Chains A and B, each alone.
Chain A
Amino acid sequence: MAEQEHWITPDQLQVGIYVYLDLGWMDHPFSFNSFKIKSDDQIRTIRSLNLKRMRWDPARSDVQPGSPAPAATAAQAPAAAAAAPDPTEDAAAKAAEVASIEAARAAKQARAERLRQNREQMAKVQQAFASASATVRAINKNIFAQSKQTIEQSEQLILQMVSTFLAAPEVAIQVMTEKPGGEEIYLHAINVTVLAMMVGRELGLSPAEMNLLGLGCLFHDIGLTEVPSKILLKSEPMTKAERDFYEMHCTYGRDIAKRVGLTPAVQNIIYQHHEHQDGSGFPQHLKGEAVDPLARIVVVANYYDSLCNPPNAANALTPHEALSLMFAQQRSRFDAKVLQILIRCLGVFPPGTVVRLSNDILGLVISINAARPLKPNVIIYDPEVPKHEAIIVDLQEENDISISQAIRPAQLPRPVFDYLSPRKRISYYFDADAGKQTQAA
């Protein structure tokens, strides 16, 4: 609840004061309702809002407020300005004021426009994801019955994705928030494919290598069809026998891949997608260089997604926690370069992480541009704004605002949780038009 409140009047505003605007988002042109004043322009804009008084945070301000104007003319700065004896100065001030009001209005509109575009773009990505999911579903269903067609379909899909990936100047990874058809779509294969491709792109793989990588990702867990789902869906830890059975899925996968006619390179990926650099993987306990380079990529992507989306959703780590774990404590298992690249692509707070911004606002990281991983797009929680019109803030544009910490969804107050709706299962897809948006501003 509200802590000790401090109030100032508009005439006390100074650059460096951290101020709260108790207005709806659309009622002012600023990205946030609370921020540190950067410029006189901002001061003028705030004054034009005609607030009698506003809250400020001494702890976050650099300066003290100015002294209030004398009682008679305390109310409004414009009025005070109007009472000034010098007509020319007065007019100039007035003109400047009008200009800034206009600028503010224009800025507001531009912002609204940008938001709308953002949304449109996001919707497009969700569509692409939906259709890719449909394809992959079909593949899973038909792989044994109509192997040849299915393989062809898969190759088509991967081809498409690869070309889009490699053609795009910038790629962003976006978290899926909508639930088309009302259900959560989560396909591990898609997640792994998207992540792996992103890494592969950064590594500078050739299109052919990217194709192999993609196919390998798509089919990496095909061997699980031979493992009883009883074992796979267990909530208690597996017994040794069950564990051994499970680990066989790499071998089964390779055999199936062979049977349906996938190339040996793809078979390899499937066979080795659980091998660790330090030999602690399975089934062969390979070490270091012995692991196929492409497989090494899949190992990292697969591991990361398994941490974020384990069979038992209660055990899920936040993307931030997953990445931290892999980097801080399990570094030895993974190819250092691959891991580094993954981190560089996902950022410190990967998409899907719930965060608290440096201005105390809560939000959900919705997409990360691999080129600027530390300045993601964040959906912020603002109870004044209806959920379906939630504000998306591009931290790239807000120099003063950064992410201060990641939050576990369970710690969120209920209304915030409902608003941001972090999903139990995090699904990714890529946005190949990422670079083009920023030009609109």
Chain B
Amino acid sequence: MTAAVDPRLEQLLLDHADEMLLLVAPDTLEIRAANRIARDRLGYPSGGLVGKKITEIESALADVFFWQDVSQGAAGDIDESESLYRRSDGGLLAVARTVRRISADGRDWLILRVRDIRREKEVAADLAQLASQLQATLEATVDGILVVAPDNRIVNMNRRFAEMWGLPENLRFRGDDSQVYDFLAGKLRDPTGYGSRMEDIGSHPDADSFDMLELSDGRVFERKSRPQYLHDQIVGRVFSFHDITERVAGERALIQARDHAEMANRAKSEFLAMMSHEIRTPMNGILGMSELLLDTPLNAEQREFTGVLKSSAEALLSIINDILDYSKIEARKLAVDRADFNLHALLEDFADLYGIRAAEKHLELTWQMDPEVPALLRGDPGRLRQILVNLVGNAIKFTERGGIDLHVELIDAWDGEVQLRFVVVDSGIGIPEGALERIFDPFEQADGTTTRRYGGTGLGLAISRSLTELMGGQIGASSVEGNGAKFWFTATLERQPPSARELPLPGEERLARLAGTRILVVDDRQANRDMLERQLAAWGFRPAVAADAETGFAMLKQAAADGEPYRVALIDKLMPGVDGETLGKWVRATPELIGTALVLATSAGERGEAHRLAEGGFGAYLPKPVKRSLLLDCLLTVLDQDPQERHADHAIITQHSLADARRGNTHLLLVEDNPVNSQVALAMLGQLGYTRVDVAENGRQALDAVGRLVYDLILMDCQMPVMDGYEATRAMRQAGCTTPIVALTANAMVGDREKCLAAGMDDYIAKPVKARTLADTLEHWLGSGAKPDDELPLDVPAAAADEAFDRVMLLENLGGDEALVAEILRIYVATAPGYMASLRAAIAAADAPAARSAAHSLKGASANAGARLLSATAKQAELAAGGGDLAAAAALLPAVEEHWRAFLRAADLPGA
């Protein structure tokens, strides 16, 4: 009232107000006044706005109705309603406006207050966009999401959550939270724990949670939750639910499947093991019985039939073994052994056996092991041999002429292990190229006809492949059809630790003296030349080779002319063109070559050849494949001989003579108290060529003997007075004697073997001793000798077991020596009554041990003398007395007398 209102200042207010202000006449709807900001914003800075109708500015649909109402007299007060204002350029402004009707000076006016809300609208739009994006994100996830506030109030959930839980619609949109939670809990298998778990989670607001929820309908959910942070404040928690029912089911199924598979695997193993046993047992029965049958008296026809039975059974067993091996491969149950063995010995034995088979088809089998290949290895010799049997067996099977060569070479060596390659080359029918890939597949042969012609299961190579793979190697083949085949395989084997030492070949020490000696090898086969050349070089000789007789002859002459003659020529007998025998004749006909000793090697030996060759000037004659030891022996012997003497005495060195020489040099000790027994033994040994035999009558004497001399082998009787065999052996071993000891025991019962071995013996022979057994055992323990000689006495089938006197057997045992028979009988007649008297006395004195001992001695002596009936009776008495049953023993005395008299009668001896 007092202060004057300055209109200019008021104008200032108006002009700088943020809002647009308009004054409108309600009757005409014309804009009568507008403030600066209105003019500017609406695009009429220099005028033009005043005088326009407000309906031209207001452009929202609702405005149409509003202004219609106003023009018809309606009051028209509006608070903050949105509208669109049209600018002068046609653009639109989003505004919010308030309309008030006022009265002034008797007139009504409408005041419009208008606010630009574009920014607000943009923000709102952004917000809406963000919110819908958030919602879209929530809806797009595979998991069910539940967002709760710190007080567990439900803030948001996505559709998936509702779907997973089967939340009904009314709970989704309108229900209260406790209803929702109750519904969720109701779905669980165990609803009770739910509430407390939720509290638990709630009480650790900043921790993540993880649960597995099991629903009553069988589904399983994984529930994880994390706190929701806003500026480091926890404002809620987000739960995510993931349906892992399938995963859990999958896991269970997997576990089940695995258990199933394990069970099946176990069942397979058990089956295989059982089948192996079940099949082999009757097979062994058949084989064993057929062998035993062969030992019994059979006529020729029966013998033949039994022979066929036996070989059929062997063939069947081999097929069965193949099949079992194959099943093992299929079931992945094939495993290789780990044992110490001597590769060289294995190959020698193998070559021995298969050399014969090859020879049967007039084929040559040669083999060589490179000197670098260590012999002392650790691996599975049985399986290795199995592969060789397969490959070489096949080679022989499919080769009609020519030969098979086995070569072992060293590929690589490293810490404690070596990798070897075995190569078998044959000159057989070959394999067509297309078949090369297939032959290692099971049941494959090169073609169907092969099976019919050559037989076989088709499994051999497949098994060999699996075996080589188990040995860390590979197998392969190459061939040209019609032109032989080459099969090779590699294997990784361990070396035996250095403590194992290969026994040096006897005689190798003598090599040192002969180093550099020139030796010529004449052989048409490259493989043989290579092998021999390498071996000779390894021994320190100076070898050379010639591929045929002419070249060889030329070389011999040349060397002699040069003043460095070949001292030995190693000649192959069977050569195309000029053969070895002819070459020998040439050499003998050449005076300059008198210093060259001739050694003939042949794969096909004939009887009586030795003599002829000796006439032809050959100093030695060896079978192929040549055994390393034999070759060395031969060379040493030959080189030892004086050339002049050699030819004079026409005595050709053969494998037998070499073996004989060896045997003749062998020093044996026989420990046996019973004179009959020892005579028999000596006779046998003599027959076999062992002439240096010392005899000890009891263990004590044996000990003394061993103390003085080193023997090559000891034959030890077990039951002896003073000191028996076991004790003596133990004593010898303790004293450090390492000589092989072979027990001679009359008690061939189970447990005896173990007893002998436990005492320190190396082997045992059952009494009555058979010549063949003795020969084999001696050869085994005295190192490789010759092949068993045909001339060795065969074990003749025994006659009836209860003969009073079996003269035939006695004669055979003593090699047909009548004089010896008489001597044996003399000794027996002299000593037997003494045993019988001791027996009677012991029984009378109720001395069971003494009775047993006497009966034992009587038994042995009687058996050796052919008094089989008496021997049997004495055995019964021995058993009775040994069991403490003296009465039974006494009861046998009359029989003893009876059988003694029967013997005397049958032997045509006095005193019956």
**Chain A residues proximal to chain B, CB less than 8 Å:** 1-2, 5, 22, 320, 323-324, 327-329, 331, 340, 343-344, 347-348, 373-374, 383-384, 411, 415
Rounded to whole angstroms, the CA-CA distance of A2 and B170 in the bound complex is 12
Are A1 and B156 in touch, CB under 8 angstroms? yes
Chain B residue nearest to A331 (CB atoms) is B59
- Give the complex CA separation of A155 and B356 in angstroms: 123
Contact, CB under 8 Å: A1 / B59: no
Query: Is B60 a contact of A328 with CB atoms below 8 Å?
Result: yes
Q: Does B501 contact A (CB under 8 A)?
A: no
Find A2's partner among B62, B64, B132, B177 (CB 8 Å cutoff).
Answer: B177
Give CA–CA (A1, B65) in the complex, Å.
Answer: 36
Interface residues of B in 113-132 (CB under 8 A from A): 132
**Which of B60, B62, B90, B170 has the most chain A CB atoms closer than 10 A to its own CB?**
B62
B177 near A327: Cβ-Cβ < 8 Å: no
A348 partner residues in chain B, CB cutoff 8 A = 61-62, 65
The residue in chain A whose Cβ has the minimal distance to the Cβ of B156 is: A1
CB pair A383 B173 closer than 8 Å:
yes
- List of A residues within 8 angstroms of B173 by Cβ: 1, 383, 415
Q: A1-B156, A323-B61, A328-B59 are in contact. List 5 more A-B contacts (CB 8 A).
A: A1-B157, A329-B59, A344-B65, A383-B170, A383-B174
Chain A residues whose CB sits within 8 angstroms of the CB of B133 once the complex forms:
none
- The answer to whether B174 and A343 have CB atoms under 8 Å apart is no
Per the bound structure, the CA–CA distance linking A331 and B90 in Å amounts to 10
* Contact assessment for A324 and B68 in the assembled complex, using a CB-CB cutoff below 8 Å: no
A383 and B172 alpha carbons, distance in the complex (Å): 11
What chain B residues lie within 8 Å of A411 (beta carbons)?
132
Per DSSP, are chain B's interface residues mostly helix, strand or loop, or mixed? mixed
Does any Cβ of A come within 8 Å of B86's Cβ?
yes
Nearest chain A residue, comparing its CB with the CB of B90: A329
Per-residue CB proximity of B167-179 to A under 8 Å, as 1/0?
0011001101100
Closest to A374 in B: B65
Q: B154 to nearest A CB, angstroms?
A: 6
CB pair B61–A327 under 8 Å, yes or no, is yes
Interface size class of B (residues with CB under 8 A): 20 to 34
Q: Which of A5, A22, A327, A329 contacts B64 (CB 8 A)?
A: A327
- Residue contact A383 to B169, C-beta cutoff 8 Å: yes
Please pick, from A1, A331, A347, the residue contacting B154 in the complex, using a CB distance under 8 A: A1
**Cβ–Cβ < 8 Å partners of B68 in chain A:** 344
Contact A328 B84 (CB under 8 A): yes
Question: Which 10 A-B pairs give the minimum distances between C-beta atoms?
Answer: A328-B59, A348-B61, A348-B62, A343-B64, A328-B84, A324-B61, A323-B61, A328-B92, A327-B61, A1-B154
Q: Do A5 and B176 form a contact, CB below 8 Å, given A327-B59, A384-B170?
A: yes
Name the A residues within 8 Å of B157 (CB-CB).
1
- Residue in A5, A324, A344 whose CB lies within 8 Å of B60: A324
A-B interface pairs (CB < 8 A), number: 49
Q: Whose C-beta in chain A lies nearest to the C-beta of B176?
A: A2
A-B contact pairs, 19 of them (CB 8 A): A1-B156, A1-B157, A1-B173, A323-B61, A324-B60, A327-B64, A328-B59, A328-B60, A328-B86, A329-B90, A329-B92, A344-B65, A344-B68, A348-B61, A348-B65, A383-B169, A383-B170, A411-B132, A415-B173
A148 to B169, CA, bound (A): 58
Tell me the smallest distance from the CB of B165 to a CB of chain A, in Å. 15
- Report chain A residues within 8 Å CB of B154: 1-2
Interface string of B51-65 (1 = CB under 8 A from A): 000000001111011
Residue on B with the closest CB to A403? B62
Q: What sequence of 0s and 1s flags, for each residue 147-191 of chain B, a beta carbon within 8 Å of any chain A beta carbon?
A: 000000011110000000000011001101100000000000000
Contact of B61 among A1, A2, A343, A383 (CB under 8 A): A343
* Nearest A residue to B58, CB-CB: A328
Q: How far is the CA of A361 from the CA of B92 in the complex (A)?
A: 30
Cβ contacts under 8 Å, B62 to chain A: 348, 374
Question: Taking the nearest CB of chain B, how far is it from the CB of A349, in angstroms?
Answer: 8
Q: How far is the CA of A323 from the CA of B59 in the complex (A)?
A: 11
Query: When the two chains form the complex, which single residue of B65, B84, B174, B177 contacts A22, counting CB atoms closer than 8 Å?
Result: B174
Chain A residues with CB under 8 A of B86 = 328
Chain A residues, CB < 8 A from B156: 1
Q: How far is the CA of A332 from the CA of B61 in the complex (A)?
A: 15
Chain B residues lying within 8 Å of A329, measured Cβ to Cβ, are 59, 90, 92
Chain B, Cβ-Cβ closest to A5: B176
Q: Which residues of A contact B84 (CB under 8 A)?
A: 324, 328
From residue B175, how far is it (CB to closest CB) to chain A in Å? 8
Report the bound CA distance from A320 to B84 in whole Å.
Answer: 14
Shortest C-beta distance, A247 to chain B (Å), equals 25
Question: Would A344 and B64 count as touching, CB distance under 8 A?
Answer: yes
In the bound complex, residues from chain B placing their C-beta under 8 Å from that of A324 are 60-61, 84
B65→A415 contact, CB < 8 A = no
B768 to chain A, nearest CB (A): 107
Q: Which residues of B contact A323 (CB under 8 A)?
A: 61
The residue in chain B whose Cβ has the minimal distance to the Cβ of A328 is B59
Residue among A1, A324, A340, A343 with the highest chain B CB neighbour number at 10 A: A1
Closest Cβ neighbor of A20 among chain B residues = B174
A56 to B132 Cα, complex, angstroms: 28
Q: Are B169 and A415 in contact (CB under 8 A)?
A: yes
What is the minimal beta-carbon distance from A94 to any residue of chain B, in angstroms?
A: 33
Distance in angstroms between the alpha carbons of A145 and B90 in the assembled complex: 49
Residue of A nearest to B154 (CB): A1
Residues from chain B with a CB closer than 8 A to the CB of A328 are 59-60, 84, 86, 92
A-facing residues in B56-92 (Cβ within 8 Å): 59-62, 64-65, 68, 84, 86, 90, 92
A175 and B84 CA atoms in complex are apart in Å by 27
Name, among A2, A344, A415, the residue most crowded by chain B CB atoms within 10 Å (CB to CB): A2
Whether the pair A373, B65 counts as a contact (CB closer than 8 A) is yes
Nearest CB in chain A: distance from B707 CB, A:
110
Q: Which residues of A contact B176 (CB under 8 A)?
A: 2, 5
Indicate with 1 or 0, residue by residue over B318-359, a CB within 8 angstroms of chain A CB atoms.
000000000000000000000000000000000000000000
Query: In the complex the two chains form, what is the Cα distance from A30 to B720 in whole Å?
Result: 130
By a CB distance below 8 angstroms, the chain A residues around B174 are 2, 22, 383
Q: Which residues of A contact B60 (CB under 8 A)?
A: 324, 328
* Cα-based distance from A400 to B558 in the complex (angstroms): 140
A413 (CB) vs chain B CBs: closest residue? B173
Residue of B nearest to A416 (CB): B173
Set of chain A residues within 8 Å of B155, measured between Cβ atoms = 1
Please determine whether B61 and A340 come into contact, CB atoms closer than 8 angstroms: no
Which of B60, B132, B156 has the most chain A CB atoms closer than 10 A to its own CB?
Answer: B60
A344 to B176, CA, bound (A): 44
Q: Which residues of chain B are near A22, meaning CB under 8 Å?
A: 174
Give B135's nearest chain A residue, CB to CB.
A413
Minimum distance in angstroms from B43 CB to a CB of chain A = 15
User: Cα distance A324–B92 when bound, in Å?
Assistant: 12
Given that A1-B154, A2-B154, A328-B92 are contacting pairs, would A340 and B64 also be in contact in the complex, using a CB cutoff of 8 Å?
A: yes
By a CB distance below 8 angstroms, the chain B residues around A344 are 64-65, 68
Question: With A and B bound together, what is the CA distance between A320 and B60 in angstroms?
Answer: 11
Q: How many Å lie between the Cα of A260 and that of B59 in the bound state?
A: 43
Residue of A nearest to B177 (CB): A2
Q: Please, how many angstroms separate the alpha-carbon atoms of A384 and B174 in the complex? A: 10
**Residues of the A chain whose Cβ atoms lie less than 8 Å from the Cβ of B61:** 320, 323-324, 327, 343, 348
Which B residues from 462 to 486 make CB contacts under 8 A with A? none
Q: Tell me the bound Cα distance from A107 to B502 in angstroms.
A: 121
In the complex, how many angstroms separate the beta carbon of B692 from the nearest chain A beta carbon? 113
Please report the C-alpha to C-alpha distance between residue A329 and residue B89 in the assembled complex, in whole angstroms.
11
Determine the distance from Cα of A348 to Cα of B63 in the docked complex, in whole angstroms: 9
Nearest CB to that of A332 among chain B residues? B90
**A221 CA / B154 CA spacing, docked (Å):** 56
Closest-by-CB residue of B relative to A415 is B169
**Could you tell me the distance in whole angstroms from the C-beta of A17 to the nearest C-beta in chain B?**
20
Chain A residue with Cβ nearest B149:
A4
Chain A: which residue is nearest B128 at the CB level? A411
Residue of A nearest to B91 (CB): A329
For A55, give the chain B residue with the smallest CB separation: B176
Cα A340 to Cα B59 in complex, Å, equals 12
B contact residues around A343 at 8 Å (CB)? 61, 64
In the bound complex, how far is the Cα of B180 from the Cα of A2, in angstroms?
A: 12
